[in-house]
Amino acid sequence: MEIENKVARSGLITFEMKSLRSKAEMVHLDIAPWLYEELILKEKDFRNYIADHNWSQYEGKRLRIFCSVDAIIPSWAYMLLADKAAPFVVFCFVGEEQEMRQFELLHAIQNLDVAPFESGRVIVNGCSDPDVSPAAFAMLTAKLRPVVKSILFGEACSTVPVYKAPKN
């Protein structure tokens, strides 16, 4: 007796949320040591730190810039940092690591090519990545809804129906 793969025959398209995650290494740049007494940003000194910094070490990486101390950093300082990093990094973000991961995921969903899902029955699998926010699932649903026949959540063996296109 031959074993039949009903899931493969069903025409279901499994979409893994983690497939949208960048493969590039994430590195972190704490600018606290570049502040006077880790408290005040002195423009001339800060610009010197930026000029002397080895930006090429971030080649092909995702850069998270942050300040580990409670200091007031003017917005233009982050603009200077992003300007210097831009030729080297694949992505630059200012903030917390979790915020960066969520922003990248939402950005990837926004830019997702939906053509491969056209008229498909899509299972969104997000259980394997607990860091995916409800906002990402909602955004993906909104992105896929206009082109798919149905959206389900979970695994092929146990799904929750989310959307079904009306029959024409």
The range of the structural domain enclosing residue 138 comes to 6-21+113-164
Alpha helix stretches (DSSP H) within the chain: 6-9, 43-52, 75-85, 97-110, 134-144
Q: At what angle do helices 97-110 and 134-144 cross, to 10 degrees?
A: 10
Q: Which pairing describes strands 150-155 and 158-164: parallel, antiparallel, or unpaired? A: antiparallel
Distance CA 74, CA 19 (A): 36
Q: Do residues 85 and 31 both lie within one domain?
A: yes
Q: Do residues 77 and 30 both lie within one domain?
A: yes
Q: Do residues 124 and 141 both lie within one domain?
A: yes
Q: Do residues 32 and 59 both lie within one domain?
A: yes
For the entire predicted model, the pTM comes to 0.82
Residue 15 has a CB neighbour count (10 Å cut-off) of 20
Distance CA 81, CA 117 (A): 39
Identify whether 101 is part of a domain: no
Alpha helix stretches (DSSP H) within 60-149: 75-85, 97-110, 134-144
User: pLDDT, tens digit, for every residue of 118-157?
Assistant: 999 999 997 777 788 999 999 999 999 999 999 999 988 8
Identify whether 106 is part of a domain: no
Q: Which pLDDT value is given to residue 131? A: 80
Token couple for 149 = 């026949």
Q: Do residues 13 and 33 both lie within one domain?
A: no
Structural domains counted in the chain: 2
Identify whether 105 is part of a domain: no
Q: Do residues 32 and 78 both lie within one domain?
A: yes
- Please compute the mean of the pLDDT values over residues 78-85 and round it to a whole number: 98
Q: Which pLDDT value is given to residue 43? A: 97
Q: Do residues 33 and 85 both lie within one domain?
A: yes
Distance CA 75, CA 77 (A): 5
Q: What is the chain's Cα-based Rg?
A: 22
Q: Do residues 16 and 49 both lie within one domain?
A: no
The answer to whether 69 touches 32, Cβ cutoff 8 Å, is: yes
